[in-house]
Chain A
Amino acid sequence: DGGITQSPKYLFRKEGQNVTLSCEQNLNHDAMYWYRQDPGQGLRLIYYSQIVNDFQKGDIAEGYSVSREKKESFPLTVTSAQKNPTAFYLCASRPGRRMNTGELFFGEGSRLTVL
């Protein structure tokens, strides 16, 4: 079945440690996104990528880094510079502009807790 797979689902990290969240899609989508969700807030865009080897900062990119070496993969690294990393992280994708209905396809999310 086609879809987006995020791992791990739950992750605990000590302060000062970097952690990488995996996002893989087999939908052949061009664009991929990382969002962060905190209680009572909407999803906030961290980074997005419209094409391999290219990505742009979203609204809250500080303390995060990404790479897009393959079309299928868009990992997110939460660095020790991110001051409040405990959150629910959602990866999403959608087709290129030609097939674009505006619908985002989300993974099941990764819940990161910093101890």
Chain B
Amino acid sequence: RKEVEQDPGPFNVPEGATVAFNCTYSNSASQSFFWYRQDCRKEPKLLMSVYSSGNEDGRFTAQLNRASQYISLLIRDSKLSDSATYLCVVTPGGYNKLIFGAGTRLAVHP
């Protein structure tokens, strides 16, 4: 079983739609969680950290469910510019290693 698993997609949604991605992780001792965004053939960039209580940044909401070992990302009012691959990232213990999921591809169309 992979340490971090994501649905590869693609998720094809119209502008203005709400879309949600889940990511499951296998190590129950994982401490920190992040969502990164990667545009085609570019480097990943941090989108947001995921806090235990859940957190929101504009149209983006991240949640953590430790009991079921998954994190989620909700995007409201999708824009064309949201089209990208979203990577789930987990630190299994401490900050020395970050484990990346393979990513979920989102395509927003007019």
Contacts and interface: CB of A to CB of B under 8 A. Distances in A.
A90 B46 contact: no
Interface residues of B, number: 22
B102 A104 contact: no
Interface residues of A, number: 25
B45 A106 contact: yes
B43 A106 contact: yes
B49 A102 contact: yes
Interface stretch (A11-19, A42-50, A66-74, A75-83): A42-50
Given A42-B101, A42-B103, A100 B43 contact: no
Interface in B33-91: 34, 41-46, 49, 87, 91
A2 interface: no
Nearest to B105: A40
Contacts of A100: 95
A24 B33 CA distance: 27
Contact of B100 (A43, A50, A101): A43
Contacts of B14: none
Interface of A: 31, 35, 40-45, 48, 50, 58, 88, 90, 94, 97, 100-104, 106-109, 111
Interface of B: 4, 8, 32, 34, 41-46, 49, 87, 91, 95-103
13 contacts: A41-B102, A42-B101, A43-B100, A44-B100, A90-B44, A94-B95, A100-B95, A102-B34, A102-B91, A103-B34, A106-B44, A107-B43, A108-B42
Given A41-B102, A90-B44, 19 more contacts: A31-B96, A42-B99, A42-B102, A43-B44, A43-B87, A45-B97, A48-B96, A50-B96, A88-B41, A90-B43, A97-B95, A102-B49, A102-B98, A103-B46, A104-B44, A106-B44, A106-B45, A108-B43, A109-B42
